[in-house]
Structure 1
Amino acid sequence: MLRLIQETKAKKAAQEKLAQIVKDSLPTQGMRRIGFKGGNRDRELFSAGEGELWASISKTPEDTTIPRYWNAFGVFEPDRKMQLIAVEINVPSETNGWQVAGAFAEDEETGDIHLMHDGAVGGGRPGIGQQAFLLAANIRMVKVLCEDGRFRKAIPVGNMSDVGFVGRLARYVRKVADFKLAVSKGDLDTPEFRKRLEESESYDKEFSGTKRGRRGGTFAYETYHGEIVDMVVAERHAARKLDEEVYNTQLIDCYVSRAGRITEVYEIKTGVGRQQLYTAIGQLVTHAAASDAAKFLVVPADEDMPMGFDKAIKALDITVRGFRLSGTKRKRIIELDPVRT
C-alpha cells in the first residue's frame, strides 16, 4: 500500500532525490525561459534533446500561497524562445493537503518512494479535465493512505528507486502533451468520446469519495495496470482486421467492435484474489452478454488462482492470459505470456 509522505524532512529528502535523478539522467540545456499560466521564469532545464522530456526542478518563492516544490515537465523544443509546460507535478513543502497536484508516497512493503499526480490536467475547454484525461490517456488511479486514515486516489507516475523512472516520467508527460494537443485539435469533441466520458464519469461516481481504510495488502503490479492495458490494446490493434475497431474505456479495459457489435472483451487484473476475480468475471460476463462476445482475462502469471475458479472460468468460456514483470527489482519489464490452454 502507498502511504502519503507528510513529514517535512521526508518530503525534502524525496524532492532532493527527484532533482538528483533528473540531473544524473538528463543533460543540462542551460538557463531557459519557461512559460506558464500568468507568467514565465528563467530556470535551468534538463533534457536529452529535441522531442524528448525536459524537466526543471526548483522551489517556488516563499510568498506563494501554498509553499511548494516546483517540478515542471514538457517536451523539449530547442528553437523555441519559451518552453511550454505539459504538466507541473508540484509538491507542497510544508502542508499535507492535496490542493497542490503532486505528492510523494511510500510503498509500505518496500520503502520505495513514488512520485504521484492527481491527474488534474486542464484541456483548455469547458468540460475537459481530469476524467477526460484519464479516459483518453488510459490511466487508472491508485489509492494512497493519508494521515487521517482516509484514502485518496492519485496517479503513480513512477517509482523513484527504479532505474526506469525517467522513462516512465517521460511517458506520462507525453500522455499529458498528447491529450492537450488532441483537445486543441478537437479530436475529443466527438459523440463517441462524449459517450465514453459519460460512462466513465458514472462509473467513477460509484467508487468516489475518501473511504477510510487500513494498512496492509500488496501493491505489486498495481502501478503497472495502465501500461499492461496499453500493451493489450496495442497488440490487439496491430492484429485487427479492416472492419474491426479496438477501444478501451473506464468500464472495459479493452474491447473489439465489428459493425457496431462487440466481439471481444478483455479485463486486466493486477492480482488473483477472490474479490478481484469475482469482479473480473462479473465485468466480463456483463459486457459480453449483449453480443455473446469472446471473453479474455489477463492476470499475473506467477500467481495461482484460488480453488474453484478454474472450473468457473472454463464453464464461462473465459480465456486466461498471463503477464509478468521480468528484469530486476529496480528495472521492470512487462511481458505478456501466450494464452493459457
Structure 2
Amino acid sequence: MRRWRRLLADEREAALVYRELAQRREGEEREILLGLAEAEERHAAYWERRLGERAGRPRRATPRARLVGVLARWFGWVFVLALIEQAERRSLADPDADVPEAMLADERIHGEVVRGLAARGRARMSGTLRAAVFGINDGLVSNIALVLGVIGGGAGTVTILLTGLSGLLAGALSMAAGEFISVSSQREMLAASKPDEAAKAAVPLLDVDANELALVYRARGMSAEEAERRADAVLRHGSVGARSDNPRSHGAEVVGSATGAASSSFAFFSVGAVIPVLPFLFGVEGVAAVAVAAVLTGMALMLTGGAVAVLSGGPPLRRALRQLAIGTAAAMATYLLGTAFDAAIG
C-alpha cells in the first residue's frame, strides 16, 4: 500500500509539473505538455482505483512541483525539461515491480516526447547558451590564471587588482570583437549564398528541352532525382513561386545579430572575469584573498559545467569536475610561471 501511494503521489506530481510548464508555453508546445499532464493523470487514476479508499485526498502542489515552477520562471523551461528527462531515465532504469508493462511503455514514450521538446528548446537557445558558457568560462579561467600568475610573481594588492580589472576589460572587449566579426562574416557568407532574384525571373524563358535548372538544385545539395523532380515542377508552373529554393536561406536568422552576440559575449565574459577579482575589490589581502578567489572561481566553474551537463542530458558531476580540473590546471600553470619568474629575477 505504501509503494502504491508513493507511485500515486509521483503521478499526481508529474501531472502538476507538466501543467505548470504548460501555463508558460503557447501553441503546439502547450498542447503537448497538457497531453502529457492528462496521461499522467490517467496513470494516477489507475493507482487510485487499485488503492480504493486508501488512496487519500489529492495533495496540493508539493515543494518539488513548486520548485519546478520557480526553475521554469528563472532558468527557462528547457532546464526543467532536462531535469524531467533525467528523472524519467532513472525511473525507467529501475522500475517498480508493481507498475504494469503498459504504463512503463507509456512512460518510455513520455520520455521521448520530453526529449523532443527539450531538443526544440536547445536548438532555439544554442547560440545564447554557447555565448554564455564560453564567455563565463573564458572569463573565469583566463582571469584566475592571470591573477595567480602575478601573485606567483610577488605582486602587491594594487598590482593584482589592476591586472585583474585590465584582464577583465581586455578579455571582454576581445570576446565582443571576435563575436561581432564572426557573426557578421557568417551573415555575409549566407547572404552571398542566396538565390539571385534575376535568375528566378528568367525561369519562364528557359528552354524546356535543354536547361540547367536541375543543376542549380543539385548544386544546392539536392540529389539528382530530387533536383529533376523539382525542376520539372517549376517548369510546369512557369515560376519558382514563394517557396525558397535555397535550403539555407533562413540561416541568417539562425546565426542571429552580430551586435547581440557581441554584447552577450562582453557581458558573460565580464561576469566570469570579475569573480576572481572580487576578494581584492573588497579589501581582502594575502593568502585569504587567494583562497577566497580560488573557492569562488572553482564553484563558478563547477556550476557552469553542471548546468551545461543538465541541459545536454549528460552527468552533471562529471562535467562539473572536468570544468574544475581544466580551470585548476590553467591557474596552476600561470602561478608556477610567476613563481619561477620571481625566483629568476630575485
Category of TM-score, reference length = shorter chain = under 0.3
Please, what TM-score do these two structures have when normalized by structure 2? 0.23
Say which one has the larger Rg.
Answer: 2
Q: Comparing both structures, which one devotes a greater share of its residues to strand?
A: 1
